[in-house]
A and B are shown apart, each in its own frame.
Chain A
Amino acid sequence: MPTPVPDAPPLEQTFFDDPVLDRLMGTTIALAAEVYMLRSRLRAVERMLAKEGREPETIDEAAERRDAMAFVQHILGPTLGEQQSRGPE
């Protein structure tokens, strides 16, 4: 890694052999969060439409948390690196 110029911000920590992987992982997680926010917005619009333009119904926070956990299980499941059906490695 070349020597940074004086007073440059410290470089972020890295965890993979190629630091570019760290940065791409960061972008992937940020995109996942953005997708989740869009889903959340979409549900709010759908609730409003269901009420024919009236105020959206109260959010069930526990249900929202369960939804977030299911979403995360789906997108981060591959990070476990384990086969979902038995086959050769």
Chain B
Amino acid sequence: MNAPVTRGVRDNDTIAYQRFVAAARGFWANDLFAALRRQVRTPDTTADPQAFASLVDAHPTHRIFAFLERHLQRMRYSGPFGLVQRVERDRDVLLASLCDPLPEGLLHLDPELSPPPYYAEFDIHQHPGGLGGDTLAALVYREAVGSGVVGQPALHRRFAQLVTAKTTPARILDLGCGFGRSAWAFADAVPTASVLGLDLSASCLTVAAHDTPEHLRTRVSFAQADAAATKLPRASFDLVTSTMLLHEMPEHAVRALIEETGRVTSAGGVVAHLDFLPPDDPLLRILFAGHARRNNEPFLLEHARIDVAAAYARAGFARVETFDFAEEDGALDADFPRWRLPWKVILAVKDAAESPGQ
């Protein structure tokens, strides 16, 4: 599928506006974050966390950091030069591109699917309307993340390579697959595997199917379903993955998802989630918690409340480990100079022999 067609002065204005927003976000993540690091002394381990949080909250550099995080994200999506309007101007062309015929079995949408209530409750990422409504919503999202770490194939390749170094699955299920990058990365990492990508968003799945590279179209497919209640056969996958899914679900839904992964994963199979967990550093922890509110991600902190080892043990998994993930070289260095999300891998390995009740 082609990139949005750009036309005339209005589109050039939008390109310039978005370039400004991207540069300002770079300033926010680099210069302003570094200034905050310089200006706010990290407390020792005996300090009162609440007192430190109050100190940070009142700090003028933190207030500007918070303001810019909120409003640069708003400018990215909303307003006359936001990405929603940019995609809207090319609506007819883009809709036509999504009508190209697809190979049989590549895409299965479920018009009867009722998304869980939490899904439409907030405009996650400040994306007006979210991903569950408009047919072109996924293209807005793809544009929004396109130039950042999240939108780059390298992130997904890194995760896929890390996971497939530990297991060589024949059947992979990718939960919350979005517009396809994670599913393609796993398909490329294991050239003999089949990959099914699930998502609630018909828009994302449609874009994913149309953008699937030719060489993957016989092994990759996409279907609309709730990751916490997939209706897929039990023990039908050797590897179940998700990338940036858990933090967009409330705690009860994550618990249901863990149970569901226990049901669909085969004996000896693996579940691997790439997501975020609160960092240990006191300042980074405050910034991460603030990100939840400012970026309209109200569930960001919820899955951190779950004892994943216990939850996965109940779902039939013998071993669970959680470890840091470097989304790029040097990202885990103590002196990494930019604000970054605290990426974590949650890896669970199922018992080789299933109990009769599972």
Asked if B31 contacts A16 (CB within 8 A), the reply is no
Query: With the chains together, A77 CA to B72 CA distance in Å?
Result: 16
- Nearest-neighbor residue (CB-CB) of B58 within chain A: A17
Min CB distance B335 to A, Å, is 19
A65 at the B interface (CB under 8 A): yes
Q: With A68-B23, A79-B32, A80-B61 in contact, do A37 and B13 touch (Cβ < 8 Å)?
A: yes
Contact of B21 with A by CB under 8 A: yes
Asked if B32 contacts A80 (CB within 8 A), the reply is: yes
Chain B 96-130 near chain A by CB (<8 Å), digits 1 or 0: 00000000000000000000000000000000000
Does A15 contact B23, Cβ atoms closer than 8 Å? no
B binding-site residues for A, Cβ under 8 Å: 9, 12-13, 15-17, 19-24, 26-27, 31-32, 35, 38-39, 60-61, 63-64, 66-68, 70-72, 75, 81, 293-294
In the complex, what distance in Å separates the CA atom of A64 from the CA atom of B9? 17
Interface contact B13-A72, CB-CB below 8 Å: no
Output the nearest chain B residue to A75 by Cβ-Cβ distance.
B24
Output the nearest chain B residue to A44 by Cβ-Cβ distance. Answer: B12
Residues of A within 8 A of B39 (CB): 81-82
Q: Which residues of B contact A79 (CB under 8 A)?
A: 32, 61, 64, 68
List residues 13-63 of chain A with CB under 8 A from any CB of chain B.
13, 15-16, 22, 25-26, 29-30, 32-33, 36-37, 39-41, 44
Whether A76 and B27, one on each chain, are in contact in the complex, defined by CB atoms closer than 8 angstroms, is yes
CB within 8 Å for A68 and B35 given contacts A13-B70, A22-B67, A41-B12: no
